[in-house]
Structure 1
Amino acid sequence: MGKVGHYFRFAENQTTLRTEILAGTTIFFTMAYILLVNPYLLGKEAGMDFGAVFVATALAAALGTLLMGLLANYPIALAPGMGLNAYFTYTVVLGMGVSWQVALGAVFISGILFLFLTLVRLRELIINTIPAGLKSAVSAGIGLFIAFVGLKNAGIVVASEATLVQMNTSLTEPGVLLTVLGLVITVLLMIRGVKGAIFIGMVTTAIIGMITGVVPPPQGVVSLPPSVTPTLLQMDIMGALDLGLFSIIFAFLFVDLFDTAGTLVGVSKQANLLKENKLPRAGRALTADSIATMSGAALGTSTVTSYIESSAGVASGGRTGMTAVVTAAWFLLALFIFPLVETFASVAAITSPALIIVGVLMASSLKDIEWNDLTEAIPAFLTVVMMPLTFSIATGIAIGFIFYPLAKVFVGQYKRVHPILYILAILFIIRFAFGGSL
């Protein structure tokens, strides 16, 4: 183990192999809910092969996390991103009628662009170009969007001819009651600071569902993984290169870029890994993320990004890439519990509480918006509110990018807006004018 300790710099980071294993295990169980939620969204909802999406999710998470550990030596795990998987399913595939093959092609292209921006070192320029308020608004808007999806799937919020949406008048339905109970359990666990609260809440909800007869019992526990062939290399890159899909590719790239940057900085700061407020080996970390996104699209899943849940591992003492390696190993082992995932992920009452809670966590970025400055607040608010109301993350981003430079120009602060923002605003206006919604 001396070579392992030397490679991951245990002594320099004041950690041990035992601590790193514990931290990696903690991260896995904190984010293991993605193994149920992602196959549900892409498989059950978007029409992809459920088993293949499960395998693609686990393999993409394992590969991305392993690369993060070995290349960048950071205790950060990756997996298909929440929000982006919902955007993939409900906006791109179901909303716009784009085939999932073309949607995977768009994800693959966004990964290539991410890698290009990383290699030519333009990522810092782009990150610094986007106003902090818009970054926070995008995260919060995605949170509201995810929470709305969870409420809708659970049957708590339903359609209404008079008001578009309303509370379900039949909250005593078994599935709805199970969702509410699962949400309460998860909330209580999170309030108490229990690590892996979302995953534990899902498992507890599943057990209660089986006891009450709402959830069918699994047909087994352990089995060989299903085939990934139905989704492997099925992405349609040429179809995604259609000019009309610019906004889709941009949304995938934009959210992944800032999700990853924010997570890297946040977790590294928590672990005291920043040097002079800068992130060492940032290029390697971003390269791992972009390769994971391209590999995930090739396997058959939506954009792979860094997970803020990695902070749970840092809180447990994880300081090096060995933590990520352990998490990756857990994802590979999870391939063999498909019977459980197949049963539980098909029940909205089990997956919906996770969507709602993740939405709450992402909406916390609302506090970082300068609400006293209307040139910041109005574009941010429109970004946030338009995502759930139009059921499109891309539309929310576009609205914010149009109104931000417009507001600044009107008050004479046009010099504070980077030229890139003006270009993007014009492109989005043209898209709305000639292509309708995004």
Structure 2
Amino acid sequence: MRQDASILHLDLDAFYASVEQRDKPSLRGKPVIVGGTGGRGVVATCSYEARAFGVRSAMSTREARARCPHAAFLGGRFPAYGEASRVVMGLLREVSPLVEPLSLDEAFVDLAAGGLTDFSLEALTEFAEDLRARVSEATGGLTASVGIGTSKFMAKVASDLQKPDGLVIVEPGREQQLLRPMAVKVIPGVGPATAERLRRAGIHSVADLEQRSEEELVLELGQSHGSGLWRLARALDDRPVVAEREAKSVSVEGTYEDDLTDRRLMEALLTRQASSVAGRLTKHGLSGRTISIKVRLHDFTTLSRSTTLPSPTDSAAAIARVARALLADLDTSGGVRLLGVGVSGLADWVQDDLFGAVAEAEPEEELPEVPSRMRAQWWPGQDVEHAEMGRGWVWGAGRGVVTVRFETAETGPGPVRSYPADDPDLSPVVS
């Protein structure tokens, strides 16, 4: 175990929603919910203004609308989120060569590996405040919560304590004092099911957990899980910060307002998803051997099928052909509410002639056209540009009309205008 508080965890506050508020001045200080905007959508994240109404990540969009009907519901702009993330991760890598991204909006940093030698409370506070200020300046005002501790576990716990825009440093020797009053769910791996099992065993807090022997916890939860909780209840965590966390898969999926029953339409949607997956693989110089599909039926049963190729590919045609073949083995007659395509077993090379002429012999025009309501040409939050009015974003769309608010992060709140959905002067901004 480390003797110094030398591991930092940085978590960008309400990340997706904060980027939207940054870029859309009229939404600053107002409830913003990012995720699926349809009735079957799920909240990806929301602003703190929306959280005050009880909206939370992973909540259904339907429930979020009931709790906070006046919020702005946006579909998400991943290029903008990715760019903000790259800026922040770049700043962290200036601090230390050991940066372990967990997602777009959070990462661990090994401060000792970066040459920091003074780990006093005063020095760490000054360092962290300077880092948070640099993040805010570089990202146009995004805030970050930071925790620093002797382990990854303690740094992560600390960063959650004073959100948003907070800083907590757990000095060596204070770990268990901090943990004991906390609910057991603060420990990674304690989800609702494990928490309920522990509750039935009379374990509610970390202090309760600490009183149980390792043997008792192993008997209750199994060897790996039981031993892991026993150690973390005592703040024992020697996991290193790992500089590179390789992507294990690339996938795209969609949930649909109406259950799909037309098999050829499903094939067309899988083909479009395969093209998107292939584009992301190509962009990052990757390819993959294992192609999989995910299908959620009308009754919420989720099915997965996959196959592994002899060589990796990044070909949209090849991925689509395999995805359609996997779909053919499933009974979808009752209706499908979600479809997805993924590629795993990633590599940084491609067998160029994989499938060769076979893929080329299957022209996409033989598939039915995907209805415009599923292509979602216009979606809330989307960046657009008008020939006369300039840059803006989609406020709402439907019934042949698209409504746009013309503003950017630099202009301040702007006017709202409505146009026919096929107006030639209005076009999406491609990032």
Structure-1-length-normalised TM-score: 0.22
Normalized per residue, which structure has more helix? 1
Normalized per residue, which structure has more strand? 2
Max Rg structure: 2
